[in-house]
Structure 1
């Protein structure tokens, strides 16, 4: 078949297919959509009619509420009053509010008063017996368990359908107890339906279930659990109707609401469709004639010229050029193409050589770098793999080539790669993704960078970023957490407090302070203080829920943020902390834990986060004032126990020193200072807790550096005593108990009677006991040797007068 005939045949076939598609589109899709649109309009109008009916029911409910929640009605139910009836239940009340009946019933279901009014005949009529038979105790209309209950809907009576509302009878302030029920109704007669039709501007009809004029499948709407409950059916070619199923107050199908609408859209659409087909047929015929003359004949001539040149292989021959349109431009371009073919052939040979050189260079780069290189086809097939580090590959290279990434790796990673490849093809720009994959050495994180290549291919450079990822995660963790306890830090706490300040209420804040932490740091060192902080953090963490915010604010202060709490729950939370501390201390830890707790509650937005924090801090400080003395005393007892465990002091030595010092003080006339001397005998060397054991228990002479470190125990003991109320009176004595009579002592270098008498007595008594007791570096002296040493040091280290008195008081010991 010649080109002309093929083109004419294809064009004619195309036009026929277009006409068929248009017919199908218009007949099936367009008209179908118009029918759907017509049904949607019908449903909307049915919904409008339902809304208007619901509005009538709401108006009826408001009227009933105004009467039910009224002190006069409340009294009337209890004690019927003819004056109430004459004043309020007149005919104008029914006609003016379009009310068909009002029934007043007490809690036992007895009808106190009722009236039914014919709005069309303007006369009072008997109350429908069908309604009265239903008003028995336990009926839905008489059940009002709460003051806010309401029953409203439709009742189908022999006299006709009735809009009915039942409200509990209450006081004017809507308070109970409920004294009965007020039932108000309005018959849905033809006048009411006509009024609804005028209001909605729709053609309405209300029919009973079972009427032969309504669709038989309307009843199935009552069984549907979802979707629309409106049924649409065409009545004829010119009218469509929508039906809505109305249930009575008991949930049973009662009525069908019919809305009839003219089918204007459908008729106009069909007429327009047939005009469109006729116009398109005429246009197709004209188009075929024009194509034959203006295009097909010229294409045939151009094709013949190109075939002639191709058969001859003569690049100098040219095709005939005619016209200045696209076909003329095509002929001219063909002639220029023939001129450049030879040039392109020579350049192609040069490009092949450059390509081979570039490929060699790229191969060297791939081998030198530690990254992975993938070359993909457009469908995700792996065409090539270069691995600087084979250990980063999920499979060996030979098992990857020729397969799709989504078929050989984890589904999520394969999907990521495929999406990246599709995005590169679409944007022709760089696309970067990150992913993780389990390898033999554990989970590894990678960054893949995708770039487009010629021939619709993609290259992906994949780098192992596991170390960078782990470092980023560690930095992110440290930026929000305290490195010692693992709790949230002050930065996270402040941000969370600001967020909760703008969010839900109530919000509770508990502030906690570790009592005596500075004393522990100063005496046992910061490592011991850190152990105490970690214990406090664990106690607090175990006292709260997983989602509660427990943070370390710095130093010895902790905070807990709680949501959806009350004053009672805040007290309970603080008690949980105290019980947890007690359990911790019951385990006999090396250092006892004491935590002061204070809380505050924010129940409205008038209190800022700063004010909440200040209130909790004030409450915490108040408790701290009560607990701090006891906490410090416990810590001091712990320090003494540690010194005893180290063998630095012993109860026997302390008892001997206490007895000797008491006798010596009585002889020196210091009986009234007996209490201070007892404390001094027990705690004068408490500062030794801060001196390393290697110095305290060293055999042999101390080095100058060790002596300097040893002498700090006086100042340390002074600071400890200053912080503990029971030791405060002897703080100055502890500081000065190593001063010498000649001023060569430490730490102050005072001399003579500037040294407190208690310290001078202690120096002599302690020196005597030290000399007559065993030491790691020497054996004990005899009494005579110790006395001789005291005499030798009298006037230098010791008070000479007191030395003589000591020797005279204790000739033998």
Structure 2
């Protein structure tokens, strides 16, 4: 008794111990793997995010410097005026200093110093017409230098505008980026540190790759950085000063700089320490409890087993008169099962037969009440038995189904496959599964999934088949819908690029010739999205898809293969009919544009192969290159067409009082004539007065026609119309010369306007004239949110705005025109 108990306790305890150890090893190994995977997956994301953050910040500063370089006060090369303007920008932008460098490299700065930078690479690159940013060190200070070419009115580079940003400030900005437990730093493509949490690394111009030549601790890091720079990006781990790190390298996109994000492996694996403790405690507790339970349980097993085995021995000798203790029969464990089993075996054969009959009755009740379809067929497929559930699924009564062949109600397309499956089950004597459609009594087809199992006689011969079927109609429809979504573009309903490329690969495998391919690129779609909105862009894309689909043959594959690209795959089509289809598309576009106020333009390229030696990838490349050549001819005309539509939309929306444009042109012209302007300049002013608010076509009607004051959020949205108008004007050859005026026509004399915050003479004179004329006509006309003001009120408002919103000189001239010059 003790021996059995001790053995059970020992085996049970050993099993628990091994299980705990195994689970612990697995948990630790898996957790380590998960933590390492998470680190290697997350660090590139942090690195890319940091790179984009720094890159966008630097590009924003370059864009600001480019804007300053385009001002007239900078381009006129008057250093005192330049210095005054640049000193203000230094205060506004927080630079150390700014300056102007002549082509000979003499840099005059706002710090009243002159420096020779003629041999500096950033200066030479800027003279070539590129905006640059580069580190710069001299004996007095460490700076990041930004340079932008200054171009005069004749498009000649007359110098370089320079801004010096404190290197430490840039370094602190990079080091201050929050990345959890990781830290970022920046290197160039030679390994020299540009920004680092330890600023001394920057001050001493440390090169982490060259450092490995005299410091072995840095060799692993140097190899990692070198490989990452060569590859353009990288992730992995390295050992430095006895500690292992995980790291990721991402390109910055400026000056071949790279962002490196590193985190110590010890920090990544820190959560494992708590896991060790928890696993140890759980193992000890489970081992103790398991040993106690095993020991107590073993004492309740040995004696009952011996007692029951004696009764089984008597039964084996033919004595069925023995009876076990009722207490053993009532036990709720395996010993109780043995005891009750003995009692059942000792019962009469009558009870056994009765139970078999009851079991058969229960089986019939199950088959007749189950939801799934159960049937029995002979070897030819004729129904011998079907469960009542067939009536609810098929609509046929059971008596109409029995005796019929199962293949008679199947969909004709599925019969051959089902017969092969049926024959295979009979021949192999193994179960099989099939999916097919059956016709209901109302003529509708529904999908079923059936599992068939052969029934064998005593000699192992198949005599019939039993099948269990389930209605999967809804599931099948969902699968087909998912398959459709995987292969089709959600907006146009055409095939997507994935399906298109699969078809090209299939043609390569089949070595099919001839094959032709057409690529259609919608010209100016991005510009339509930027100016008229994405809804207009979607409508344009749908129109293009419809035209291409209608022109393509039925056996072709039409797909949306890019944001603005459609493709047609033409198996068994040579180059001549493919070019004919492309011409039909061009004619359909022309017909569409003739009858619709639309701006659809497409660049089309065709290519084909008549030998299987050419891959479809090569054919695609040829068609794409042909499309690119045609696109070079279309780009400008397409963008001009967009501007024409914008002008039409501007007139159609009628967002200003009737006659406002004409009055504004007359008032502006009157002021210009007082200033003795030439007719050519007056004509440009008149055109600007007409289209100064063209950007409002991109402002929602709910804001444009709102009665009452705009909310701060709505006002910010309204302010965007200057920049929208600027982009539209730049895209039209007829308006490009007034684009700068459109951008700046809401600037105030005191610098309180938008979008650039210009002040005084920095604001083009045309903008100052139109600002006064526009304000006068706005106050003199009814608006959705107020009635027109009285004449005296208008004069008072103009005078109060002189010197703040308006140019005092223009106000004085305008009041003279109105007869209010007192």
Aligned match of 1:618: 625
- 8 Å contact from structure 1 (residues 510, 600) kept in 2: yes
State the Cα deviation string for residues 336-381 of structure 1 (Å, max 9, x = none). xxxxxxx9996686255145236426734763x5322223344544
- Any idea what SS the aligned residue of 1:518 has? helix
Q: CA 1:751/1:413 → structure 2, altered by over 3 Å: closer, same or farther?
A: closer
- 8 Å contact from structure 2 (residues 603, 628) kept in 1: yes
In the alignment, does 2:676 pair up with 1:674?
no
Deviation at 1:749, TM superposition (A): 2.1
In the alignment, does 2:493 pair up with 1:492?
no
Alignment partner of 1:534 out of 517, 537, 542: 542
Equivalent runs, 1:381-400 vs 2, <5 Å: 381-387=382-388, 390-400=391-401
Distance 2:404 2:618 in 1: 65
Aligned match of 1:710: 718
Distance 2:413 2:638 in 1: 57
Equivalent runs, 1:552-571 vs 2, <5 Å: 552-563=560-571, 568-571=576-579
Distance 2:435 2:819 in 1: 90
Alignment partner of 1:687 out of 667, 690, 695: 695
Q: CA 1:569/1:422 → structure 2, altered by over 3 Å: closer, same or farther?
A: closer
Equivalent runs, 1:437-476 vs 2, <5 Å: 437-439=438-440, 440=442, 442-453=444-455, 456-476=463-483
Q: CA 1:411/1:443 → structure 2, altered by over 3 Å: closer, same or farther?
A: closer
Distance 1:493 1:360 in 2: 56
Equivalent runs, 1:308-707 vs 2, <5 Å: 350=352, 353-354=355-356, 356-357=358-359, 359-360=361-362, 363-364=365-366, 367=369, 370-387=371-388, 390-401=391-402, 403-406=404-407, 423-439=424-440, 440=442, 442-453=444-455, 456-501=463-508, 503-563=511-571, 568-589=576-597, 591-604=598-611, 608-649=615-656, 652-671=659-678, 672-707=680-715
Bigger radius of gyration, 1 or 2?
1
Q: CA 1:511/1:666 → structure 2, altered by over 3 Å: closer, same or farther?
A: farther
Aligned match of 2:742: 734
Distance 1:422 1:612 in 2: 46
Distance 1:780 1:348 in 2: 110
Q: Which runs of 5+ in 1 are unaligned?
A: 1-342
Distance 2:656 2:444 in 1: 55
- 8 Å contact from structure 2 (residues 748, 804) kept in 1: yes
Distance 1:408 1:605 in 2: 45
Aligned match of 2:291: none
Distance 2:416 2:501 in 1: 40
- Any idea what SS the aligned residue of 2:796 has? helix
In the alignment, does 2:739 pair up with 1:723?
no
State the Cα deviation string for residues 466-501 of structure 1 (Å, max 9, x = none). 222122222322333222222222223223334445
Distance 2:364 2:536 in 1: 60
- Any idea what SS the aligned residue of 2:659 has? helix
Deviation at 1:638, TM superposition (A): 1.3
State the Cα deviation string for residues 150-171 of structure 1 (Å, max 9, x = none). xxxxxxxxxxxxxxxxxxxxxx
Deviation at 1:760, TM superposition (A): 1.3
Q: CA 1:425/1:531 → structure 2, altered by over 3 Å: closer, same or farther?
A: same
- 8 Å contact from structure 2 (residues 605, 627) kept in 1: yes
- 8 Å contact from structure 1 (residues 741, 799) kept in 2: yes
Distance 2:380 2:546 in 1: 55
- Any idea what SS the aligned residue of 1:436 has? strand
- 8 Å contact from structure 1 (residues 424, 430) kept in 2: yes
More moved, 640-649 vs 698-707: 640-649
Distance 1:548 1:393 in 2: 39
Deviation at 1:453, TM superposition (A): 4.3
Aligned match of 1:801: 809
- Any idea what SS the aligned residue of 1:749 has? coil
Distance 2:739 2:718 in 1: 18
Deviation at 1:423, TM superposition (A): 4.3
- Any idea what SS the aligned residue of 1:743 has? coil
Alignment partner of 2:799 out of 780, 791, 803: 791
Equivalent runs, 1:169-318 vs 2, <5 Å: none
- 8 Å contact from structure 1 (residues 380, 418) kept in 2: no
More moved, 656-665 vs 689-698: 656-665
- 8 Å contact from structure 2 (residues 394, 439) kept in 1: no
Distance 2:579 2:423 in 1: 59
State the Cα deviation string for residues 644-674 of structure 1 (Å, max 9, x = none). 2222147732222222222222323543433
Alignment partner of 2:766 out of 730, 741, 758: 758
- Any idea what SS the aligned residue of 1:585 has? helix
Q: CA 1:516/1:670 → structure 2, altered by over 3 Å: closer, same or farther?
A: farther
Distance 1:347 1:413 in 2: 50
Q: Which runs of 5+ in 2 are unaligned?
A: 1-344, 458-462
State the Cα deviation string for residues 504-558 of structure 1 (Å, max 9, x = none). 4444333221111112111222222111111111111222321233322111112
- 8 Å contact from structure 2 (residues 671, 810) kept in 1: no
TM-score, structure 1 normalization: 0.53
- 8 Å contact from structure 1 (residues 372, 463) kept in 2: yes
- Any idea what SS the aligned residue of 1:681 has? helix
Residue-pair matches, total:
469
In the alignment, does 2:782 pair up with 1:780?
no
Distance 1:459 1:795 in 2: 98
Q: CA 1:688/1:471 → structure 2, altered by over 3 Å: closer, same or farther?
A: same
Aligned match of 1:34: none
State the Cα deviation string for residues 608-659 of structure 1 (Å, max 9, x = none). 5444333333332222222222222222221222232222147732222222
Distance 1:568 1:421 in 2: 50
- Any idea what SS the aligned residue of 1:726 has? coil
Deviation at 1:594, TM superposition (A): 1.0
Distance 2:602 2:409 in 1: 58
Aligned match of 1:769: 777
- 8 Å contact from structure 1 (residues 405, 417) kept in 2: no
Q: CA 1:390/1:773 → structure 2, altered by over 3 Å: closer, same or farther?
A: farther
Distance 2:494 2:415 in 1: 38
Deviation at 1:769, TM superposition (A): 1.2
Q: CA 1:661/1:363 → structure 2, altered by over 3 Å: closer, same or farther?
A: farther
Distance 1:565 1:381 in 2: 49
- Any idea what SS the aligned residue of 1:745 has? coil
- 8 Å contact from structure 1 (residues 717, 735) kept in 2: yes
Distance 1:765 1:623 in 2: 45
Q: CA 1:352/1:532 → structure 2, altered by over 3 Å: closer, same or farther?
A: farther
TM-score, structure 2 normalization: 0.52
- Any idea what SS the aligned residue of 1:554 has? coil
- 8 Å contact from structure 1 (residues 509, 560) kept in 2: yes
Distance 2:408 2:582 in 1: 57
Distance 1:711 1:366 in 2: 74
Distance 1:605 1:393 in 2: 51
Q: CA 1:555/1:675 → structure 2, altered by over 3 Å: closer, same or farther?
A: farther
